[in-house]
């Protein structure tokens, strides 16, 4: 059962938590980014986000999501695609002249309201709830600022994440406003690429795709419908059985629901593009055949597509 008995901020922060000073003081003098977590990688992730190439979560860790984002940026901008930071790429991202990647934010009463007290594990119990909302203020704000929740907490030691408190947050890019003419789900890269009418990359997002047991589809289909804040139809006869529950159920909406905050329905029955309740595990988990995005990425994409937009699954 997913509980919210105590704010995470009241628990011990991660032992190797990044500090604001490490992030703001990070500089790039050549070479590759450090292994593990670093202020430089945090800054790089923010700059990629601002360049409309999603790193997934901003957490400061060198890993699959941020490296795939770097390759996507290199591809769009015409650089050698190797996923390695170099002075040319850093300059193209505006690294030396970038605005601060952190800022102060005062938590509002609205931020601290509308939380869900707990979310049960059992699918039948979830179906009895009114909403599968955020469990903690820190979780809610981490998604708003495209951050990993543990990193947000680590940047603000001692914070109770209560209304009126001022905390430190990342400064990601604004939501992209464009017309997407085509989407490619590039399975090998684990990225979803949005293209304009001339085939140019507008943006790229990290995604979770299906496993060998429950693979994502192949070929081309199209967007059939878009649902914001959707309910979820649990159909064990058509999809999969969870918790031994074999009857059809409708789960309530919310960012912590099985499809997150958006469902983009595809013309192939039962398949869609959707959000997730575990953005930090996007590159670790596999889906049941659909394509999972972070909630903030799928919300951005949903505002740029319409019914009939082609979606191709590229092997």
pLDDT higher than 80, residue 286: no
Instruction: Tell me which of 146, 288, 290, 303 is the catalytic residue.
Output: 290
Instruction: Tell me which of 146, 274, 288, 303 is the catalytic residue.
Output: 274
Query: How far is C-alpha 9 from the geometric centre of its chain's CA atoms?
Result: 22
CB 249 within 8 A of CB 132: no
Q: Would you place residue 294 in the very low, low, confident or very high pLDDT band (cuts 50, 70, 90)?
A: very high
Domains of the chain plus CATH, in order, are 20-97 (1.10.101.10), 102-170 (no CATH), 182-314 (2.40.440.10)
Task: Please give the residue that has the higher pLDDT: either 16 or 49.
Answer: 49
pLDDT higher than 50, residue 159: yes
Reference 296, options 203, 165, 232; nearest CA is 203
- What is the percentage of the chain residues whose pLDDT exceeds 90? 83
Rounded CA separation 35/25 (Å): 18
pLDDT higher than 60, residue 16: no
CB atoms within 10 A of CB 245: 15
CB 205 within 8 A of CB 225: no
pLDDT higher than 80, residue 241: no
Give me the pLDDT at residue 283, please.
83
> Does 290 qualify as catalytic in the annotation?
yes
Q: Would you place residue 13 in the very low, low, confident or very high pLDDT band (cuts 50, 70, 90)?
A: very low
pLDDT higher than 90, residue 54: yes
DSSP string, the chain: -EE-SS-GGGSPPPTTPPPHHHHHT----SSPPPSSB-HHHHHHHHHHHHTTB--SSB-SB-SHHHHHHHHHHHHHHT---SS---HHHHHHTTGGGPPPSEEEEEPPTTTTSS--SEE-SSHHHHHTSS----S-HHHHHHHHTTB-HHHHHHHSTT----TT-EEEEE--PPPP-----EEEEETTTTEEEEE-TTS-EEEEEE-B-B-SSSPPP-EEEEEEEEEES--EEE-TTTS--BTTB-S-EEEPPSTTSTTTTEEEEESSTT-EEE--S-GGGTTT--BSSSEE--HHHHHHHHTT--TT-EEEEE-
> Does 303 qualify as catalytic in the annotation?
no
Bridge partners of 186, per DSSP, are 191, 314
Q: Would you place residue 9 in the very low, low, confident or very high pLDDT band (cuts 50, 70, 90)?
A: very low
């Amino acid at each position: 059962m997913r509980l919210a008995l105590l704010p995470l901020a009241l628990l011990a922060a991660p032992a190797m938590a990044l500090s604001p000073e490490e992030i703001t003081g990070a500089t790039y003098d050549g070479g590759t980014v450090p292994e593990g977590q670093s202020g430089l990688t945090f800054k790089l992730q923010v700059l990629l986000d601002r360049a409309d190439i999603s790193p997934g979560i901003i957490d400061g860790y060198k890993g699959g999501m941020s490296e795939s984002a770097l390759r996507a940026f290199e591809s769009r901008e015409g650089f050698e695609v190797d996923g390695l930071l170099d002075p040319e790429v850093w300059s193209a991202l505006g690294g030396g002249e970038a605005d601060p990647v952190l800022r102060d934010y005062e938590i509002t009463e609205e931020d601290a309201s509308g939380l869900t007290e707990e979310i049960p594990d059992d699918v039948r119990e979830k179906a009895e709830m009114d909403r599968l909302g955020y469990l903690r203020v820190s979780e809610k704000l981490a998604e708003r600022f495209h951050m990993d929740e543990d990193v947000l907490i680590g940047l603000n030691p001692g914070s109770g994440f209560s209304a009126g408190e001022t905390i430190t947050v990342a400064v990601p890019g604004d939501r992209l406003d464009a017309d997407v003419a085509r989407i490619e789900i590039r399975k090998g890269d684990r990225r979803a690429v949005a293209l304009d009418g001339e085939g140019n990359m507008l943006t790229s997002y990290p995604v979770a795709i299906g496993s060998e047991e429950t693979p994502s589809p192949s070929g081309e289909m199209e967007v059939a419908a878009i649902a914001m804040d959707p309910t979820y139809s649990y159909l064990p006869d058509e999809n999969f059985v969870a918790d031994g529950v074999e009857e059809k159920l409708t789960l309530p909406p919310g960012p912590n629901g099985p499809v997150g905050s958006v469902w983009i329905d595809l013309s192939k029955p039962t398949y869609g593009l959707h959000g997730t309740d575990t953005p930090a595990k996007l590159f670790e988990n596999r889906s049941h055949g659909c394509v999972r995005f972070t909630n903030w990425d799928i919300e951005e994409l949903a505002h740029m597509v319409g019914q009939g937009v082609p979606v191709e699954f590229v092997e």
